[in-house]
Amino acid sequence: MFDKVINTLSQIGLIIGSVLLALMMLLTVADVFMRYVFSAPVSGSAEITQILLTLTVFAGFILVSRDGSHIVVSIFEPMISRLSPKLYGVIYAVSNTLGTAFLLWVLIVSAREAFDYEDVTEGLEIPFGWIISALVVFVAFSLVAGVRVFKKGLSGHGSAD
């Protein structure tokens, strides 16, 4: 049952991330076309692209958390994984879960403040609260999907040697 939930969340992240990436590419093509053919770029395209990129990265965070394939800094990793691969997996899973939970908490606080102060983007005046709320949903899904690492182990962490 839990695997079905994680698979559904992963599919949602994959679909949303793919759609957002396609929108970002279409917007960039339209902006370049409009700029060079009609000397009239799409208003706010840079701002929208930044928002779409942020949302795309956080949608992909769900898949990365599910697989335990985050980018790692290999300072202690070789030593710990050589001494005890199981200990390394536990340390990774616990630190990933705590880090994701902390990120979720920070984003929830930020979203609340953005709504309280009615913060908006500079150019198009898009409410930050809604943007950050989408990030909160993606990180919450990532936290749930990251639990899979405790059960199935890591993937995508081959030795860099």
Taking the domains of the chain in order of start, what are their residue ranges? 2-152
pLDDT tens digits for range 65-76: 998 887 766 787
Q: Does the predicted TM-score (pTM) go above 0.85? A: yes
- Digit-coded pLDDT (tens) for 79-109: 888 888 888 888 888 988 999 999 999 999 9
User: Which residues, listed in sequence order, are joined to residue 120 by a DSSP beta bridge?
Assistant: 127
**Percent of the chain surpassing pLDDT 70:** 94
